[in-house]
Each structure stands twice: as structure tokens, then as C-alpha cells.
Amino acid sequence: MFMILAAILIVSAFAVIFNRNVVHSALALLVNFCTLAVFYFALNAQFLAIVQILIYAGAIVVLFLFVVMLLGAELGEQVTTWLTARNAALVALGFVLLTIVGSAVFENQYVFVRDGKTGTLTEQAVQEFGQVQVIGSFLFTDYILPFHLVAVLLSVGVVGILWLGQQQKRKKVEGSVND
């Protein structure tokens, strides 16, 4: 089951990146978010699964679709080839980011067991305080930097869509003035 879900997750992620139609790309993002929520349910993290569906699959994708529909669905540039110097630099930067995130996860005491020891989070602590309180405590103390980085990433996506829309409007205005 996990292999099928992982395949759906990877295919939908590539569909988000390589789809030429912005609306189809946003719908592939919706599939990606919902599949990730199924993973959370399977891992017994019901709170994260519901948050994933409500906030990301619901609000964020609807926001992206709203912005795309507001600015026009024909946004974007025609891609003739993916093999450019800019894309190579972006892939290299992506690998650097993946290395940084991977080393941060590896060094986290709550993720991996080292020397037979785990972090301070136990099943009894979750039962005593509740899943939401424990997640909130970790999210706004130990994981405040990743929390803010996700917010910046989502903001950059919205700004990118707005920038593409403005470029499209300028091209239309310049085209009509030249005619």
C-alpha cells in the first residue's frame, strides 16, 4: 500500500513541476497533498492529516487556483527545452537545499535513535498533554525555523504567480500598443 501511495505522490509531484497548464498543475498539487494526508493517517497522525487536508489541500490550492483564474489561466512561458543553464543552477541549488534539510533531519534527536536513546517525546507524554498540544509545543519551539521557511515558500509561490501575471499583462498591453 505504501509503495502505491509513494508512486502516486512522486508522479503527482512531477506533474506539478512539468505540467504546461497551470490549472492542471494546481490539481496535481491537490492530489499530492491528499496523498500525503493518507500517509499521515496511515502513520496514526490524524491531526496532521486533517490539517493537511483543510489547510493545504483546501485553502492553499484554492488560493492558487483563485489567483490563477483571476490573472488568467494562460500564464507562463512556452518551454522549448528544459536543458538550460538556469535550470541546471536550480537543480544544483535544489540538491544543496536537500543536503541541508537532510543533515538537519539526521541530526535531530527526535527523529533517529542514537546510542539506544530517543528524544523526550514519549507515548505517555502525548497521552498526558494531547497530540495537538505536543505538536504545537514542538512546532513553535524546536521547529520554528522550518515553520517560517514553509511560510516563506508559500509566499514565494504566490508572489511568483503574481509576477507571471503582471508579465503577461505587460506583454498584452505592449502587443496592443504596437498593433
Q: Please answer whether residues 35 and 15 qualify as being in contact, where contact means their C-beta atoms are separated by less than 8 angstroms.
A: no
- Predicted TM-score (pTM) of the model is 0.56
- Please give the average per-residue pLDDT across 82-90, as a whole number: 85
Show the domains of the chain with their CATH numbers: 2-103 (1.20.120.1200)
- 101-126 residues labelled b (16+ CB within 10 A) or e (exposed): eeeeeeeeeeeeeeeeeeeeeeeeee
Which residue has 488560493 as its cell numbers? 63
Confidence of residue 24 (pLDDT cuts 50, 70, 90): confident
Report d(CA 148, CA 177) in Å as an integer.
43
